[in-house]
Amino acid sequence: MRSATASRQRLAVLMAITLWSVSGLITLCAESPYRFFDWTVTYGDIYPLGVRQQGILINGQFPGPEIYSVTNDNIVVNVRNNLPEPFLLSWNGVQMRKNSYEDGVYGTTCPIPPGKNFTYNFQMKDQIGSFFYFPSLAFHKAAGGYGAIRILSRPLIPVPFPEPAGDFTVLIGDWYEANHKVMKAVLDGGHRLGFPDGILINGRGPTGASFTVDKGKTYRLRISNVGLQHSLNFRVQGHLMKLVEVEGTHTIQASYSSIDVHVGQSYSVLITMDQPAQDYYIAVSTRFTTKILTSTAVLHYSNSIRPVSGPVPCGPTTEIGWSINQARSIRTNLTASGPRPNPQGSYHYGQINVTRTINLVSSAGLINQKQRYGVNGVSFVPAADNTPLKIADYFGIPGIFRVGSIPDSPSSRQLVLDTAVMGADYRTFVEIVFENLESIVQSWHLDGYNFWVVGMDGGRWTPASRKQYNLADAISRCTTQVYPRSWTAIYIALDNVGMWNLRTEFWARQYLGQQFYLRVFTPVKSLRDEFSIPANALVCGKAANRLLI
């Protein structure tokens, strides 16, 4: 009798849970709207530095149109490739949860053939923040084809600052006057690229862009470094910037007179127009270079009585120390909401035991008399027939890649070419230590994830370096810099099954092999952990004759 009651109760509970989760699912779908984008990619003339260049345009625009979205929105981007060569877009910082097929890099997605289209379907699942998209194949990024992505908080989720009077996208990056195909040929020939010719701000050269503001009001600027290599310093004459967001994390709102933005990174700042009504310089210049390139834009007060005047504000002159101190001061506001109403700090990353430490060191060398770059002694090359690794994994096509083809720590052997894939178990908690033995700043990005930047310092990393980790309020982001002859340590919760690109954002090196794929794997196949291959997925390479069902 008792046991019958108990089992009836269990059944009732079970039914309630089932009903709750089914209705939860329905509500979730019902409240996540779809946003549709129809994009055509073409070559077209652009003149960012005053000379005519072949640029990659999206719907005729350079930079491309912005993806404007809200947390959990479903994004549908139909990309028609009207270039005479294969093309892919990737979504820097969008986590593509359970959905690496849509990531748009060589290892996950077949290229869109010339004259064909592919419709990307993904969700801005549990994300907020400022990011960008870019063309991932060949050396297309040097021709443009990039644009901003913004993910706003849902209407009822509190944002830790008053609604700004305006919200500007500021895409900055170094730029070459050379045609991207010429640059690609230089790299293919085993040579290095020279110094860039200028810096672009929203696709405009040294004195192009202008932002109009009202005196007394506060504006948000979303700054992303979409360039090919150089760290850039960003500043506004006569105004302080209050940092509020870094790659989807609300920060401690500290004020800065200038901010270093390393290649691939995104920052949001608030600026209050509290100065006399005139025009002011916005200045962007290269960091840690002997020759300094600077571009300016104009901050125009709507009631301005004077054009820009006075010297362009100088960037920081002290080198690494200033920048590393600034980087350490950028922390998570633990009481601010992220994409969900519960404060992000309720996730105590500092109390989770690390299950694995991966040590990554940049490698460089000549292979067949040509310059190559790598990680831990392996320089990445695509697999046979360019079959995407994720697609090969799905169909079980052998001989495409080998899990473990890149070691967890640097090797002393000579640089080798391989289709480097590192295996990792789903739901493990991993520490990655990037060690930079060079005299340039490095910038590393991981697709599919945000990670906590727990520490960075000069010199070599040792296990004792862990004592200085920030285990309370480190910033959570997707791209981190590693200073010259320094290290940066990150923690990652591997909660996103898939094939994820880990790469340098120094684009010539990325192109010459400084990248690999992290295959976050679970032996149990379940739609709860990973979505199925999309019905419209293109097939190519050794998967070309496979049918999707």
Q: Check residue 335 for interaction with ligand NAG (CB under 6 A).
A: yes
Sign of CA dihedral 90, 133, 502, 231: positive
Q: Report the nearest approach of ligand NAG to the CB of residue 407 (Å).
A: 26
CB of 204 or CB of 222, closer to ligand NAG: 222
What is the footprint of ligand NAG within residues 185-224 (CB under 6 A)? none
The window from 23-31, 116-124, 165-173, 522-530 that contacts ligand NAG (CB under 6 A) reads 116-124
In the set 105, 149, 236, 336, which binds ligand NAG (CB under 6 A)?
A: 336
Contact between 136 and 104 under an 8 Å Cβ cutoff? The reply is yes
Q: By C-alpha distance, which of 106, 184, 86, 171 is closest to 143?
A: 184
Q: Check residue 536 for interaction with ligand NAG (CB under 6 A).
A: yes
Residue 85 and residue 131: Cα distance in Å, rounded?
A: 26
The window from 47-55, 333-341, 420-428, 477-485 that contacts ligand NAG (CB under 6 A) reads 333-341
In the set 44, 65, 113, 160, which binds ligand NAG (CB under 6 A)?
A: 160
Q: Check residue 118 for interaction with ligand NAG (CB under 6 A).
A: yes
Residue 188 and residue 139: Cα distance in Å, rounded?
A: 10
DSSP code at position 158: P
Tell me the site size for ligand NAG, rule CB under 6 A: 13
CB of 255 or CB of 325, closer to ligand NAG: 255
Q: Report the nearest approach of ligand NAG to the CB of residue 273 (Å).
A: 21
Tokens of 180: 């991207």
Residue 226 and residue 144: Cα distance in Å, rounded?
A: 9
Strand partners, 374: 363
CB of 148 or CB of 543, closer to ligand NAG: 543
Q: Check residue 252 for interaction with ligand NAG (CB under 6 A).
A: yes
The window from 16-24, 189-197, 331-339, 500-508 that contacts ligand NAG (CB under 6 A) reads 331-339
Q: Report the nearest approach of ligand NAG to the CB of residue 244 (Å).
A: 8
CB of 72 or CB of 109, closer to ligand NAG: 109
Tokens of 495: 């909660």
In 338-409, DSSP assigns E strands to 356-367, 370-375, 378-380, 402-403
Name the 3-class secondary structure at 122. Answer: strand
CB of 78 or CB of 386, closer to ligand NAG: 78
Q: Report the nearest approach of ligand NAG to the CB of residue 352 (Å).
A: 6
Label each residue of 216-282 as H, E or C.
CCEEEEEEEECCCCCCEEEEECCECEEEEEECCEEECCCEECEEEECCCCEEEEEEECCCCCCEEEE
Q: Report the nearest approach of ligand NAG to the CB of residue 72 (Å).
A: 21
What is the footprint of ligand NAG within residues 24-63 (CB under 6 A)? none
Q: Check residue 123 for interaction with ligand NAG (CB under 6 A).
A: no
Nearby residues of 77 by Cβ (< 8 Å), 6 or more positions away: 36, 37, 39, 67, 89, 119, 120
Q: Check residue 78 for interaction with ligand NAG (CB under 6 A).
A: yes
Which single residue brings its beta carbon nearest to ligand NAG? 160
CB of 18 or CB of 335, closer to ligand NAG: 335
CB of 78 or CB of 357, closer to ligand NAG: 78
Q: Report the nearest approach of ligand NAG to the CB of residue 333 (Å).
A: 4
The window from 112-120, 392-400, 497-505, 516-524 that contacts ligand NAG (CB under 6 A) reads 112-120
Label each residue of 439-508 as H, E or C.
CCCEEEEECCCCEEEEEEEECCCCHHHHHHCCCCCECEECEEEECCCEEEEEEEECCCCEEEEEEECCHH
Tokens of 345: 């700090």
DSSP code at position 151: E
Q: Report the nearest approach of ligand NAG to the CB of residue 539 (Å).
A: 10
Contact between 506 and 514 under an 8 Å Cβ cutoff? The reply is yes
Label each residue of 402-431 as H, E or C.
EECCCCCCCCCCCCEEECEEEEEECCCEEE
Q: Check residue 405 for interaction with ligand NAG (CB under 6 A).
A: no
CA dihedral 151, 225, 442, 344 (to 10 degrees): -20
Q: Check residue 109 for interaction with ligand NAG (CB under 6 A).
A: no
Q: Report the nearest approach of ligand NAG to the CB of residue 329 (Å).
A: 12
Q: Check residue 119 for interaction with ligand NAG (CB under 6 A).
A: yes
Contact between 119 and 93 under an 8 Å Cβ cutoff? The reply is no
In the set 333, 371, 376, 450, which binds ligand NAG (CB under 6 A)?
A: 333
Tokens of 42: 């073409």
Residue 184 and residue 179: Cα distance in Å, rounded?
A: 9
CB of 160 or CB of 238, closer to ligand NAG: 160
CB of 160 or CB of 423, closer to ligand NAG: 160
In the set 59, 117, 357, 386, which binds ligand NAG (CB under 6 A)?
A: 117
In the set 3, 303, 353, 412, which binds ligand NAG (CB under 6 A)?
A: 353
Which residues sit at the interface with ligand NAG, rule CB under 6 A? 78, 117-119, 160, 252-253, 333, 335-336, 353, 536, 538
